[in-house]
Chains A and B, each alone.
Chain A
């Protein structure tokens, strides 16, 4: 059974329709990357799956539960977390407080989980009590992912985790994503660094103009000449 299955999603902002029937399937433990030109509707797809935008047609099923039209705070409880592209941290809170907020809906003792999350991001350990607003862009991105991991999710949605970061930092973030995935968390991400991302993706989707164009395994997409020319910059 697929972990996440989105079928024929139609959605957009206000009266403007951006997705015209997009489908996406994620198996447990997979990394799935969505690529495509600007305005293709990649972020819109993530936001719609997560309930931030309303689904005008189509359905979303997560872990056997139909979640079409659910609000984010209900979806979060099923084990799906979302890291927005920008403004994805609480800048005036410390790193640890950000993680605590990530665990807001947990009623059990989450201290053990917090240490596990700090293990994913050793750089943050020493900065536990630093306000996130004072951290670098890459570190903020890690805080954002750490916050989302506090709930021990089955699926993590990442909207352009490497946007605006220095190449070295991009590499580091991708490493972390691989490690997180190895711990059993499935990942769906939207990426501009498509070539790099597809290298470690189990599956890739190409969106254009709000529709599915191609989908295949990561390596297969990388070898496909047409895709390379059209979507991966030659």
Chain B
């Protein structure tokens, strides 16, 4: 049980990173981004591209720290991929979503457009990498550490949790302390008033895409480090992401963090009784319970 909880926290912190971006986009751009999981895949596959195609050419040293996946390649590739994914999201926004916004298209139409972009991103992955499962470092031996209380954890997983939580803390500081962060929260609260106030909401939207997609990329990379890459991985994350965002109240990034951790832990704990294959369905079950009992989420007032 305890061990499963620890695994749940690892997995949950990955979900949380994705869900924070999803909930920000939901709140500020006002639509359900069904391409969010595919942005995770994009980030994960861009790292694959960097470490196997670009870095060997540049002569980046290949060695890694002890029994981890982390070394110069991954440390360099992670931020690069996050930035590239952010730019990809911004480009998709400028090409597809901005004209829809200008036309004041309904949120459902924009959500449908996100299905289209999801489709494009996913098929690009299929085209370049094919449908098979891929490891970042095939054949890498990654022994687990034996911690007290009979918990086994791989160093990679420890790094994932620490990294995820530090990123969440950074996002928190950004939203809480910076002018742009506050403007993002204000725009999520009331986009019309934000415009009336003189906030450059178009700029806020670009930053939202950038941050949301960057976090999604890191989440996807972490999943890739911990498991394997495959083109549909992002689509598979969609349910946990939405469950986390709805549980933590749509538009509330702190709620998404809590939601992500809860969903992660519940999913992993469920394997005690259920076929592990059912974990996405468990996320859906949590989502249903939330919709039945408290549709506005844990942190939503009645409005």
Contacts and interface: CB of A to CB of B under 8 A. Distances in A.
B94 to A, nearest CB: 19
B301 A84 contact: no
Interface in A66-110: 72-73, 76-77, 82, 84, 87-93, 97-98, 100-102, 104-105
A180 interface: no
B193 A76 contact: no
B62 interface: no
Interface stretch (B3-11, B66-74, B156-164, B180-188): B180-188
A87 B197 contact: no
B198 A104 contact: yes
Nearest to A50: B196
Nearest to A92: B189
A101 B186 CA distance: 8
Given A93-B182, A100-B179, A73 B190 contact: no
A163 interface: no
A104 B193 contact: no
A90 B200 contact: no
A93 B198 contact: no
B195 A84 contact: no
Contacts of B252: 92
A133 interface: yes
B113 interface: no
A87 B192 contact: yes
A73 B195 contact: yes
Nearest to A147: B197
Given A77-B198, A105-B198, A133-B301, A93 B193 contact: no
Contacts of B182: 93, 97, 100-101
Contact of B190 (A72, A76, A87, A102): A87
Contact of B189 (A52, A76, A90): A90
Interface in B184-212: 185-186, 188-190, 192-200
B195 A93 contact: no
Contacts of B198: 72-73, 76-77, 104-105, 151
A87 B193 contact: yes
Nearest to A100: B182
A92 B185 contact: yes
B196 A90 contact: no
Given A87-B190, A92-B189, A101 B196 contact: no
Contacts of B194: 90, 101
Contacts of A82: 196
A153 B224 CA distance: 53
Contact of A104 (B183, B185, B188, B190): B183
B183 A73 contact: no
Given A93-B186, A97-B182, A104 B199 contact: yes
Contacts of A88: 193
A38 B90 CA distance: 44
| A88, A92, A97 — most chain B CB neighbours (10 Å) | A92
A91 B252 CA distance: 12
Given A73-B198, A82-B196, A84-B196, A104 B179 contact: yes
A77 B193 CA distance: 15
A196 to B, nearest CB: 26
Interface in B230-274: 252
B253 to A, nearest CB: 11
B254 to A, nearest CB: 10
Interface of A: 50, 52, 72-73, 76-77, 82, 84, 87-93, 97-98, 100-102, 104-105, 133, 147, 151
The 10 A-B residue pairs with the shortest CB-CB distance, nearest first, are A76-B198, A90-B189, A105-B198, A90-B186, A101-B186, A104-B199, A73-B198, A92-B189, A72-B196, A104-B198
27 contacts: A72-B195, A72-B196, A73-B199, A76-B197, A84-B192, A84-B193, A87-B192, A87-B193, A89-B193, A90-B185, A90-B186, A90-B190, A90-B193, A90-B194, A91-B190, A93-B182, A93-B186, A97-B182, A97-B186, A100-B179, A100-B182, A101-B182, A101-B194, A104-B197, A104-B198, A105-B198, A151-B198
